[in-house]
Each structure stands twice: as C-alpha cells, then as structure tokens.
Chain A
Amino acid sequence: MRHIISILLENEPGALSRVVGLFAQRGYNIETLTVAPTEDNTLSRLTMTTTGDDRKIEQITKQLNKLIEVVKLVDLSEGPHIERELMLIKVKAVGAQRAEIKRTADIFRGQIVDVSASVYTIQLTGTSDKLEAFIEAIGAGCVLETVRTGVSGISRGEKILSL
C-alpha cells in the first residue's frame, strides 16, 4: 500500500542524506520526495511517498524516528489528509490539437503558463492520480516533457505537525 510520510527535519547539512541513505541501505522504496524549509527556519518539512505492507511501513517509520535529525514524523495516510503535487508538462500543440488540449487543461483546472507556435506548457496541481489522469486524457503521444514536484501533504482539520 502507498503511504505518505511527512517529517519535520532539522534544517542542517547532511540531514537529508541520512533520510535518503536509510532508504537505500535498508532496501526501502522512495516514490516521491519533496523537501523545503518551513516558517521556522531551523526546520525542514519533508514529504515522501513509499510503498510496503504494514510491517515494512512500521519499520520505516521506526528507523526514520531513530535518526537524530528527525524531529517529528507522521504517516499522513493513516488519517484524512490533503495531498497535492504540481506538474509542469510540455505538450505538442499544433492544428486542431491546440484547442483540444486547451479544453482538456481547463477541465483539469490546469493553466497554460507558456505558449509557443507548436508547444504548450501546462501547469497542473492535484493528487498524483489526477496528474496521471491528465496525461492519459491528452494522450501520452503528444507529451514532450514532464516535471513533477512529488507529493506534499497535510492533515485535515485540527491536527498539525509541529514542535
């Protein structure tokens, strides 16, 4: 099963390499990874998606918690949460396709952020599923380039991840 693990990490050099290294050395998967400083500049917020059965996820969270620089950790997928990923996608847009792609982007609430004679660059935000659905809708054949940020997530309601 896919899990979204969200971590408050000391904003120090080398901290990220410990997290990533842990996954490599213990044979865990990282599907996506995003990291950036928070409003408290001593902390980074890191979100990663990984897959595994309950036992594996339990080991992953325990091993992560052992890292000195991991301040707090939550498995967002254990409760209601919001997840978003941002994608910039360059697609071939010529002839009749130009209008069709524009319409599809509108349906997915995407924005065309750059235009050239034969290419649209579209910005799209949503869950990973939605981004994949968009690619399927416009047809993989016209995709020239994609770049995705990886998943960011936050719990719904009152629950917060902070010190």
Chain B
Amino acid sequence: MSQILTKDDVLKVAKLARIEISSQELEDYLKELSEIIEYVKQLEKVDTSNLKPTNQVTGLSNVYRNDQVLDYGYTPGDLLDSLNKIEDSYVKVKRVIE
C-alpha cells in the first residue's frame, strides 16, 4: 500500500515538535501516521460545503474574568519548585542561541 505521507513529512513534523527520531522510528511513524490519516480521511466523504467549522461545542461566548489579581493559593516559589532546573530564580534551559 502506498503511504499517504513521505519520510520528509514525518521528519518535518518531528523537527517542528523538536523530537529526534531514529531511522527505525521514522519507518514506524511513517506507517502509523499514514494509517491515522487514512482513517481520518473517511471524513472527506461527507459533504460539508454548507457547514460552518465547529470550533466550539459548548455554545458559550464572552467567558470573561474581571481585571483583578487573583490569589490561586500557591506562591511563585511553589511553581518554581515543580520545575526542573532553577538558577537565581530563572528557569535554566539548554542554550537556545550560539
């Protein structure tokens, strides 16, 4: 069966997601992602020309909050504690520029 995706497609998705994949994974994902898209493709059989896209299912609109500082019951320090690496209150990450 001809794949719906190419290896380049999979590599591009991996790159956008900042995920490194092995050549074996590339084969696997090519097959799996193609199958998923093939499955979802069934929807194309439905005539949607007269339908608006469904972006929301709740029917809500204008769910607002007033512009007031809220106390969420924790401190910023509590949040930092849950993060991986902290230096001088900054979040430490792999260097992103040269």
Note whether A and B form a binding pair.
no
